[in-house]
Structure 1
Amino acid sequence: MSPPAGTDTGAPVPDGGTVVYELADGCTLDDVEEGSCYVGTVNGVVEYGVFVDLSEELSGLVHDSNLVGDYDVGDELVVELAEVRENGDVSFEEVQFADYTTEAVGRGTDAVVDDLADVTGETVTVRGEVLQIKQTGGPTIFQLRDESGVVPCAAFDEAGVRAFPAVDLGDVAEVTGRVESRNGGVQVEVDELTVLGGDRERAVRDDIDEALDEAAEPADIDPLVEWPAFEKLWDDLRDVARQLRRTVLEGRPIRMRHHADGDGLCASVPLQLALERFVARHYQDDEAGRHMLKRLPSKAPYYELEDVTRDLNFALENRERHGQKLPLVLMLDNGSTEEDTPAYRNLRHYDIPVVVVDHHHPDPEAVEPLIDAHVNPYLHDEDYRITTGMMCVELARMIDPSLTDELRHVPAVAGVSDRSEGEAMPEYVELARQEGYDEADLRDVGEALDYATFWLKYDDGRELIDDALNVNCDDRDRHEEIVEFLSTRAERDVDTQLDAAMDHLEHERLDNGAHLYQIDVEHHAHRFTYPAPGKTTGKIHDRKVEETGDPVITIGYGPDFAVLRSDGVRLDIPEYVTELSDEIDGGGVSGGGHLVVGSIKFVKGMREQVIDALVEKMADAEIDEELQSTGVLSQD
């Protein structure tokens, strides 16, 4: 950075001294001005004066007539730039002050990240926090954040050798180098990188913190529909939107875990897109979104130790190999129950933050001491009818409101997929109708999502799922063709499964008048194909509800699990799980879900005792003819 034009030698500064500039090693004539004062080092003594270095690239003569003292090689003195001749020779005059303040000058023009695209090919100085240090086979890449954005800075030593090894993650640094175009953005090719401390470090951090507070503030939007029940969650969602935006701005990756069903996809896909676009606005590297965000479907209705182990291993490898910060884990349509706590305790060993957005019946006393934020309608005396997809569409809009037109149909898909009977469902369906979807279309989209994610297993299937949901999809015809194909195949496979299973249903009438249907899905349904046991149980249940018109409970069980569905009966599956765990010694009972939709696990040898005890509790449950099912969740 050159001193300001018109700087007067000896001009007073706030502490009463004088400004004397100290040039970085790479500074050239472009970084100095006549009449300004600089710290110089004597590099040679001759009869007619001394030669002085201001930097490795800039030297000049102080004629003996302009010297005040006597100097040897290596001595420092303060000089004023007197003249730059046409041939490039530089002359100085020695000056002396009783008091002065030194100000460091980096090579090139001061710039902020947002402006770098306008100065491609020029040398600049940028100051910010080091967010990532990645060693490639060639340069070391330092991701540097200032108050306006993040830019990759490539520093070269020997190929594959760490440049500037004294620089650590989280340091505040001053980078000087040439701006070049790369990966759809810009990159600084580093000449000098210096770690800042003291007042200069504090000033940079203060500027960044102030800018990040402003940039992290969620967009001020109105909800897609007016729904008093939903309004109770609005402030919680804004807090999460603020936290997610701040997480991205601070360079912390996000691992997004979601239940692998229609509602989970309606929650995670819009949020992934919103965060990617937010990353793109603040990072100069087009590849940043891919490295910062991972969407990961979870088959189980809770955060399994298998999944958390994968996540931890991935995060620790990325920290070691790519210099990334440890991630924030974002749980969607999952993560509210006591079954999640072993995974959360594992994350706590590494201080990894966890945010949960879910609509399953929660165990707040168990999970909230282990997580950083929890949005759930049950915490506001509401229930499952507010689906996670509905919440996350609004969350995505708070992060990137430009997505609104692409997401208007998604809450209705989420509601239909989870059979929500919320008061606002007709309004969500009307929004979807305005986008060209009738209720049959919405059901087909939900079935297509369930079918696709079943076969994708642990793969996020980004492009296929985007097209099936018609989010970030540029071809409506392709979307409709894919949905028709997938939903038709899903219907065919369901019919095949039910043709095999229905003859094996066991039926009884409970004391409270409800129909109870049970089936051994391990022995009387096709395995390892669509639909999975949870979906199979749900489809059987739907058929029996339609046939009887009466209160119905359906249990699909295997060797060590049972899937539960209910219509017209006031069950409390999470409470049953707690009671069975206490009452049956050696049963190993665990599980949960919604009040009337859920699953439980137990040890294989105790299946008969657990299910018999469960049926007894169901027989005592209150009948409510108006109570509607939460819908069929695609649990395995």
Structure 2
Amino acid sequence: SLGKRVTVTAHVKSVRQTSGPTVFHLSDDTGEIRAIGFSAAGERAFKEVMPGMKVQAECIVKERQGAVELELVSCIALKEEWQGFSIESESLQRLKPNLLAAAALLKESAGKRQIIIRHHDDVDGYVSGYAIERALRTVSDDKWLTVRSSSRTPFYDYIDVMRDLNTCQTSRSKARPLIVLCDLGSNDQSIKAISRVPADFLIIDHHRYDEENKAKSVVFVNPHAEGLGSELSAGALCVEIALMISPGLNLRHLPGVCQVADKCNGKDTEKYLANAGMSLKFAEDLAMVLDHDLYHLKFQESLELLDSLFDRNTAEAQVANLLPRLQEEIARATLAAKRYQVVKEHNGFAIVTIEKSKVVNYDYVGGKLPRILSSLHTGPRMIMVYDEGAISFRVDGVAFSLPKLVSYLKEKLPYAMIAGGGHDYAGTLKYNLASEPEVSKEIALYLSKTTVL
């Protein structure tokens, strides 16, 4: 009842400073509530309390604009110990030493030196960067010493280098910066950029890696480096690291979404979905909606915006609002893909090709063509979507490795400006347009020896 003094134990979802009081949003298993703390006008109340922390608060029940809110009398942060991984996983256990080392490095660096979080701009990448930033905010709320930015390329590019160099040079911290690369940073293109930056690097990735990248990083977290594959997404790895730093963070549904979004199949994915109480179908739908929204952010995202996008409590509403329109767009693109695809049977598998610019004129849907075409076929198949100076691959049931094809073409066509890569079965190959006939010829020769699994 109004005016009653109560004690609540909850997690701090967010903290916002106004020109008057400090606004805390508290949550537990029963829901969320707004709580107000006041020290002085415009001054942060309970400075030691950060988002993600578990707190015990003495409050007075109030009413504001018809809604119940709490007035904080006291608010004490409760110390939480890491209880172990979110799921039982042999893969996570094998990676445990490096994951713990990454968490320790981040916790030690927070608030003491410039930290730049750089991540790929898909669902897996955004969750990776978001989880790390959200965890660091529980250690230090200094927004200037921890910055995050997305990258269109699946590697650490020179554009990223110049931006990060600028951030380092203008930072008020004179300590050696820490650059955290999430869902990128492992391949040979990245090492060329890494070598130019006077900073320490923490790499958390699940793509095939180059030994030199591992050697140049302070901590290197990559399943491939431990004899594993890509069965764990970068998002899942970063969430586990974030929970090591701050066990109270409400992130448990995000690893399952990342696993599904990045097509990481297996027992770990099933366990993450079960842990989140989420069906595979809903995870696929949510991944599609998040992918669409994140694609349109265009680098302008704030941590608070990502809080709302990644909020489990609003996930059903997000899917209900946007999924029907997305499905309609995908259905139209599917009709076009079905009509204009070229299918050729080869060594027991289907090679499916299409020219993106001739089929769709909407960037977001165009990026979904590999997945759309794959859904039109069963059995072993190789999808190749041609764009200007690039081919996007998606492969199922074929003994194929895109990074190996990239290496082969670099050797055969040194003047073709070959670049790209990704996972064995999904990624993008880039080349200069002048070499396209030769690239196509060499790919055909390479595939002549390729068979089904």
The equivalent of 1:302 in structure 2 is: 155
The equivalent of 1:368 in structure 2 is: 214
Q: CA deviation at 1:325?
A: 4.4
- Alpha-carbon separation, structure 2, partners of 1:242 and 1:395: 9
Equivalent position to 1:531, from 338, 354, 365: 365
Asked if residue 263 in structure 1 is aligned to residue 124 in structure 2, the reply is yes
Residues 362 and 583 of structure 1: CA distance in aligned 2, closer, same or farther (over 3 Å): same
The equivalent of 1:544 in structure 2 is: 376
- Alpha-carbon separation, structure 2, partners of 1:341 and 1:355: 13
Equivalent position to 2:269, from 425, 448, 451: 425
Q: CA deviation at 1:391?
A: 0.9
SS of residue in 2 equivalent to 1:570:
coil
The equivalent of 2:135 in structure 1 is: 274
Larger C-alpha radius of gyration, 1 or 2? 1
Q: Is the 8 A contact 2:344 2:351 kept in 1?
A: yes
Q: Is the 8 A contact 2:110 2:146 kept in 1?
A: no
- Alpha-carbon separation, structure 2, partners of 1:490 and 1:328: 38
TM-score in terms of structure 1 length: 0.57
Asked if residue 402 in structure 1 is aligned to residue 248 in structure 2, the reply is yes
Q: CA deviation at 1:544?
A: 2.5
Residues 500 and 255 of structure 1: CA distance in aligned 2, closer, same or farther (over 3 Å): same
Note the 1:85-124 alignment, pairs <5 A: none
Q: Is the 8 A contact 1:241 1:399 kept in 2?
A: yes
Note the 1:215-364 alignment, pairs <5 A: 220-249=82-111, 251-280=112-141, 288=142, 290-318=143-171, 322=172, 325=175, 327-347=177-197, 351-364=198-211
Equivalent position to 1:452, from 293, 297, 302: 293
Asked if residue 383 in structure 1 is aligned to residue 237 in structure 2, the reply is no
The equivalent of 1:604 in structure 2 is: 433
- Alpha-carbon separation, structure 1, partners of 2:330 and 2:177: 39
Residues 305 and 486 of structure 1: CA distance in aligned 2, closer, same or farther (over 3 Å): farther
Amino acid at match of 2:253: H
Amino acid at match of 2:328: R
Q: CA deviation at 1:183?
A: 3.9
Equivalent position to 1:514, from 349, 355, 367: 349
The equivalent of 1:573 in structure 2 is: 402
Q: Is the 8 A contact 1:260 1:450 kept in 2?
A: no
CA deviations 1:261-294 (Å, max 9, x no partner) are: 11112222222211111214xxxxxxx2x22222
The equivalent of 1:501 in structure 2 is: 337
Residues 465 and 492 of structure 1: CA distance in aligned 2, closer, same or farther (over 3 Å): farther
Asked if residue 582 in structure 1 is aligned to residue 411 in structure 2, the reply is yes
- Alpha-carbon separation, structure 2, partners of 1:263 and 1:252: 26
Q: Is the 8 A contact 2:348 2:451 kept in 1?
A: no
The equivalent of 1:153 in structure 2 is: none
Q: Is the 8 A contact 1:561 1:601 kept in 2?
A: yes
Q: Is the 8 A contact 1:451 1:486 kept in 2?
A: no
Q: Is the 8 A contact 1:219 1:397 kept in 2?
A: no
- Alpha-carbon separation, structure 1, partners of 2:136 and 2:123: 20
Residues 585 and 332 of structure 1: CA distance in aligned 2, closer, same or farther (over 3 Å): closer
Question: 481-490 vs 421-430, which deviates more?
Answer: 481-490
TM-score in terms of structure 2 length: 0.79
- Alpha-carbon separation, structure 1, partners of 2:178 and 2:329: 38
The equivalent of 2:325 in structure 1 is: 489
Q: CA deviation at 1:442?
A: 1.1
- Percent of pairs with identical residues: 24
SS of residue in 2 equivalent to 1:329:
strand
Q: Is the 8 A contact 2:178 2:199 kept in 1?
A: yes
CA deviations 1:398-427 (Å, max 9, x no partner) are: 100112xx2221111111111211222221
Gapped regions of structure 1 (runs ≥ 5): 1-179, 187-217, 281-287, 625-636
Q: Is the 8 A contact 1:386 1:422 kept in 2?
A: no
Amino acid at match of 1:261: D
Note the 1:182-197 alignment, pairs <5 A: 182-184=43-45
Q: Is the 8 A contact 2:349 2:451 kept in 1?
A: no
Q: CA deviation at 1:536?
A: 2.0
Amino acid at match of 1:266: V
- Alpha-carbon separation, structure 2, partners of 1:297 and 1:393: 17
SS of residue in 2 equivalent to 1:600:
strand
The equivalent of 1:563 in structure 2 is: 392
Amino acid at match of 1:538: R
Q: CA deviation at 1:310?
A: 1.4
CA deviations 1:193-212 (Å, max 9, x no partner) are: xxxxxxxxxxxxxxxxxxxx
Amino acid at match of 1:442: A
CA deviations 1:568-593 (Å, max 9, x no partner) are: 00211111111110012421111111
Amino acid at match of 2:225: L
Q: Is the 8 A contact 1:303 1:343 kept in 2?
A: yes
Q: CA deviation at 1:323?
A: 5.2
- Alpha-carbon separation, structure 2, partners of 1:596 and 1:393: 25
Q: CA deviation at 1:444?
A: 1.8
- Alpha-carbon separation, structure 2, partners of 1:518 and 1:305: 31
The equivalent of 1:11 in structure 2 is: none
SS of residue in 1 equivalent to 2:392:
strand
The equivalent of 2:35 in structure 1 is: none
- Alpha-carbon separation, structure 1, partners of 2:173 and 2:257: 39
